[in-house]
Amino acid sequence: MLKTTIHLIERVGTKIGLSKAEIQDLLKFDAQHQFEIELSNGNKYQAYRVQHKNGLGPYKGGIRFHPEVNLDEVKALATLMSLKTATTGLPFGGAKGGVAVDPKLLSALELEELSRMYVAHLVPHIGPDKDIPAPDVNTNSTVIDWMVDEYERRTGDTTKASFTGKSVGKGGSQAREEATGRGGVIVLEALLKKLGRRTLTMAVQGAGNVGSFFVDVASREMPDCKLVALSDSSGGIYDPSGLSYKKLKAFKSQGGRLIDYPSGTPVTNEELIALDVDVLVLAALGDVITPANAPAVKAPIIMELANGPVSDKAHDDLMQAGKIVVPDIIANAGGVVVSYLEWLQNKTGQQWGKAKVNNHLRRYLTQATDNLYAEHLKTGLNFKEAAVSLGLKALLRRE
């Protein structure tokens, strides 16, 4: 992942005329914190926080708890966060953190101790104006609430602006949970406006947090958009005449698997990828489109709501086939935008309603999509490269 990220920055940097020195500088990290956490039961875990760049504002990025977390992965993710915040126009830099642990093997008390010790090690390096962590894979508002409490205990800072992704009762923002899915809808709407398209059909892979909110918001707010397929890890359901998300949600809430939905045709995830639709939305995992299945993709527009669902090689194939791939850096930036709005509310002692948060989210992501489209036209770069180009230029404060 680190190699791919470095290669992407080198490639785009060269294409937009950056010097070797500038590219080398963009690939450097401001700080890498690596430490060991020893719990009171004697178990030890490797922990990381990598801070990439903070020229545009305090470092920002999640903390993941996963057995495969390692320094190179955290470095790649920190770099991508810098690009994401810069491309989206947020006054933040980029960072990422993690602990190499399987949280499912910990008791609730051990998980709390781990979360608090992670913060205890990092107190001198994080804070509302330095580095503002957030949840990521296997971390949630409960973990973040423990972290905020530990930070407050050690520093006396009660602004709650030290972390985002808190529970709403403890300084979190309204509309955070649905922000990534809603953000995807806003980006799609803004892009369709540029392309002069309105009516379309879409297939969505992944009915988790991101995919479900995407479909929910799209079905209520994009009346010309017809959901024809939706899947989860067991497979999906396809109905060219259209699927009601309300009915699918009710079916799923009773424990039903999408593949067993009583109307339409069951499809595998491989079949869903190959459906003849206008938009294919990938909201499940990384690397689901590879050179092996890229030729089967019929949709002219592919939305990367998951992180890296289109592999690099497959991306080249899709470009040759004339497709539009809306890159994850912008397509799934809704979460970090609302993280910024949460931080802003904490810093100013305000609590905004849902509508105000959603209006600001729309403003940021519509602007980011318009900028992306303009950069694509101006430079001739594909959308992924254009997003990176915008990020690199913002980091270097170039037009």
Cα separation, 388 vs 371, whole angstroms: 12
Cα separation, 194 vs 188, whole angstroms: 10
If the CB atoms of residues 303 and 390 are measured against ligand NAD, the closer one turns out to be 303
Supply the minimum distance, in Å, between the C-beta of residue 214 and ligand NAD.
9
Q: Which residue is nearest to ligand NAD (CB)?
A: 208
Q: What residues form DSSP beta bridges with 46?
A: 36
Cα 95 to its chain centre, rounded Å, is: 14
Lookup result for tokens 């935008």:
337
Six token digits for residue 115:
């979360």
Chosen residue from 46, 155, 233, 379 binding ligand NAD by CB under 6 A: 233
If the CB atoms of residues 240 and 286 are measured against ligand NAD, the closer one turns out to be 286
From 53, 75, 84, 96, active-site residue: 96
Supply the minimum distance, in Å, between the C-beta of residue 132 and ligand NAD.
16
Give yes or no for a contact between 45 and 99, defined as CB atoms under 8 angstroms apart: yes
Q: Is there binding between residue 208 and ligand NAD (CB under 6 A)?
A: yes
Cα separation, 10 vs 18, whole angstroms: 9
Supply the minimum distance, in Å, between the C-beta of residue 162 and ligand NAD.
20
Give yes or no for a contact between 52 and 79, defined as CB atoms under 8 angstroms apart: yes
- At how many degrees (to 10) do helices 71-88 and 383-395 cross? 90
Angle at 141 between CA 137 and CA 147, to 5 degrees: 95
Q: Is there binding between residue 229 and ligand NAD (CB under 6 A)?
A: no
If the CB atoms of residues 191 and 210 are measured against ligand NAD, the closer one turns out to be 210
Q: Which of 55, 126, 334 is nearest to 218 (CA)?
A: 334
Cα separation, 367 vs 218, whole angstroms: 19
Q: Is there binding between residue 225 and ligand NAD (CB under 6 A)?
A: no
Chosen residue from 85, 115, 139, 307 binding ligand NAD by CB under 6 A: 307
Whether 96 is catalytic is yes
Stretch that binds ligand NAD, among 83-91, 144-152, 155-163, 207-215 (CB under 6 A): 207-215
Chosen residue from 171, 206, 264, 327 binding ligand NAD by CB under 6 A: 206
Q: Is there binding between residue 284 and ligand NAD (CB under 6 A)?
A: yes
Name the site residues for ligand NAD (rule: CB under 6 A).
Answer: 180, 205-211, 231-233, 269, 283-286, 305-307, 332, 335
The catalytic residue positions are: 96
